[in-house]
């Protein structure tokens, strides 16, 4: 199963706006993606409640995993998103 490990760059971690952007991007992928912290259980990346329950802070390393068609592309896209400081970016509708 393909995986990607990335440190979360958003200053607030995966909370509020950065979490919402990540969850939406995960839901838009062709294949389901899961996210976990350390050796903890993997949760659906497309679930806001599940992602928030991880309590991911700035600099925390998370592992993304997926299996199936498009898994590598989905993981690459989501890892690149998490590696950006989403708090510093302007909202798309601004």
Q: Is 58 a catalytic residue?
A: no
pTM: 0.91
| CA distances to 33, 75, 78, 79, 94 from 66, in Å | 5, 7, 11, 12, 32
- Identify the domain containing residue 22 by its residue range: 3-82
Q: What 8-state DSSP symbol labels residue 4? A: E
Residue 55 CB neighbour total at 10 angstroms: 11
Q: pLDDT, tens digit, for every residue of 24-81?
A: 999 999 999 999 999 999 999 999 999 999 999 999 999 999 999 999 999 999 999 9
Catalytic pick among 11, 15, 58, 84: 15
The enclosing domain of 48 has a CATH number of 3.30.1340.10
Exposure b/e, 14-31, CB count within 10 A at least 16 = b = bbeebbebbbebbeebee
How many domains would you assign to the chain?
1
In a domain, 93, yes or no: no
For residue 91, is it within any domain? Answer: no
In-domain check, residue 49: yes
How high is the pLDDT of residue 87?
A: 81
């Amino acid at each position: 199963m393909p995986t990607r490990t990335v440190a979360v760059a958003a200053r607030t971690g995966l909370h509020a706006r950065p979490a919402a952007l990540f969850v939406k991007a995960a839901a838009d992928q062709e294949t389901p993606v899961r996210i976990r912290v350390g050796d903890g259980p993997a949760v659906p990346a497309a679930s806001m409640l599940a992602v928030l329950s991880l309590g991911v802070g700035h600099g925390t390393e998370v592992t993304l995993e997926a299996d199936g068609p498009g898994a590598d592309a989905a993981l690459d896209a989501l890892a690149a998103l998490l590696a950006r400081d989403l708090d510093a970016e302007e909202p798309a509708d601004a």
